[in-house]
Amino acid sequence: MTPDVQATPHASLHDAVNLADIEALGRAALDRNALEYYASGANDEHTLRENRAAFTRARLRPRVLVDVSGVDTGTSVLGLPLSSPIGIAPSAFHGLAHPDAERATARAAHARDSVMTLSTFSNTPIETVGADAQGRFWFQLYLLRDRALSRSILGRAHAAGARALVFTVDAPFLGRREANERHRFALPAHLGAPNVASRDILAQVETDRGSQLANYFRDLADKTFTWRDLDWLRGQTPLPIILKGILTAEDAQLAAEHGCHVWVSNHGGRQLDTAISSFEALPEIVDAVAGRTEIYLDGGVTRGTDVLKAVALGARAVFLGRAALWGLAAGGQTGVERTLELLQDEVRLAMALCGATRVEDLTPALVRL
């Protein structure tokens, strides 16, 4: 749990006053298999912790004597209006958290005028989630060695109403999440990954040694894909393409040159341990992109002031990974909605106390690094 935020023991979802309260409820609702899968980072988890610590080191420079009787947290991503600059990041296997799985998350995103990013490794078919999201979802792709299957998945996502393609670029291999290896993470028998494999195929994956997901992914993902292949990907879908997993100015520059939007992310600290935090990487990426594409960020966001700082430094929106899953585990759709509501309320208050009445008022002058 985030060390600098205190949760109230035994709070109900109704009584939760911050995301730490919801995290405590969500953790308590999960078995070890699910909890370790969601919570774990790579190796010694330095990057996992640093994602949060980087936000706490940055300080705000509030302005005063501004009329803040009306504060509007609204913004947009790729033309889609949002009630606040907060979306839901892609994460696999929502069925570990709640029986309604990705359907509950999609409904919450729609109800709160947010946007959900659906993982390739969802427990629910793309079409079902698309119907629940009602136009408020993006689709995240792991490019598979089987290009025909990748092409089929992309076609399904577009047909289901996805508004953008989020291509994860930092995971040719899965990072080593030692708790999952030690306790041999595996999906329960009642859950599958219907976008990529049948339950029968998953059941055949080795679980006697290490993580079932890591063992399956090892031979699934295309490890040969380079910048030169982005033209192929663009030819498979009419959707805007967002590259998720950018951490350097050099790669942000290449993304912009290839006409892709940029998602600053270190995969929630789950891939390369001791990699730079997303928030620390943001300024150089904003400079490199120079307004040519939209920029998004995930990693360590648990407070409205985190959202404020990221947006002030150039992110169009931030996306919640684990925080949304804790809400899902704590109360299904209602829990995810409560997570989004609490964070949006914090954003609104923080904006008012900083003398900002619109998201457009948030500028780099607000933040001291």
Mean pLDDT in residue range 48-58: 98
- Give the integer Cα–Cα distance in Å for 202 and 110: 31
- Provide the residue ranges of all domains of the chain, joining segments of one domain with +: 19-368
Across the range 122-145, mean pLDDT stands at 96
> Which residues belong to the annotated binding site?
37, 90-92, 119, 140, 142, 168, 177, 244, 265, 267, 270, 321-322
- Which of the residue ranges 9-23, 113-127, 161-175 would you say has the lowest mean pLDDT? 9-23
156: nearest Cα among 201, 190, 196? 196
pLDDT tens sequence across 181-214 = 999 898 998 998 999 875 455 555 545 567 877 7
Residue 202 confidence (pLDDT): 52
Helix, strand or coil for residue 151? helix
Q: What is the pLDDT of residue 3?
A: 44
The pLDDT score that the predictor gives to residue 168 is 97
Task: Report pLDDT for 198.
Answer: 52
Report percent pLDDT > 90 for the chain: 86
State the Cα–Cα distance between residues 242 and 319, nearest whole angstrom.
Answer: 13
So which residues are the catalytic ones?
267
**What is the pTM for the complete model shown?**
0.94
Q: Which residues are annotated as a binding site for glyoxylate?
A: 37, 142, 177, 267, 270
Identify the three-state secondary structure at position 33: helix
pLDDT in tens, 229-264: 999 999 999 999 999 999 999 999 999 999 999 999
Query: What are the binding residues for FMN?
Result: 90-92, 119, 140, 168, 244, 265, 321-322
Which DSSP string do the residues of 101-144 spell out, in sequence order? HHHHHHHHHHHTT--EEE-TT-SS-HHHHHHHHTT-EEEEEPPB
- Residue 43 amino acid letter: N
Residue 5 has pLDDT above 70, yes or no: no
Report CA torsion sign: 291, 318, 35, 117.
negative
Angle, CA 317 vertex, CA 313 and CA 322 arms, to 5°: 110
- pLDDT tens per residue, range 151-185: 999 999 999 999 999 999 999 999 999 999 999 89
- Structural contact between residues 262 and 252, judged by C-beta atoms closer than 8 angstroms: yes
For domain 19-368, give the CATH number.
3.20.20.70
Q: In the prediction, which pLDDT does 260 show?
A: 98
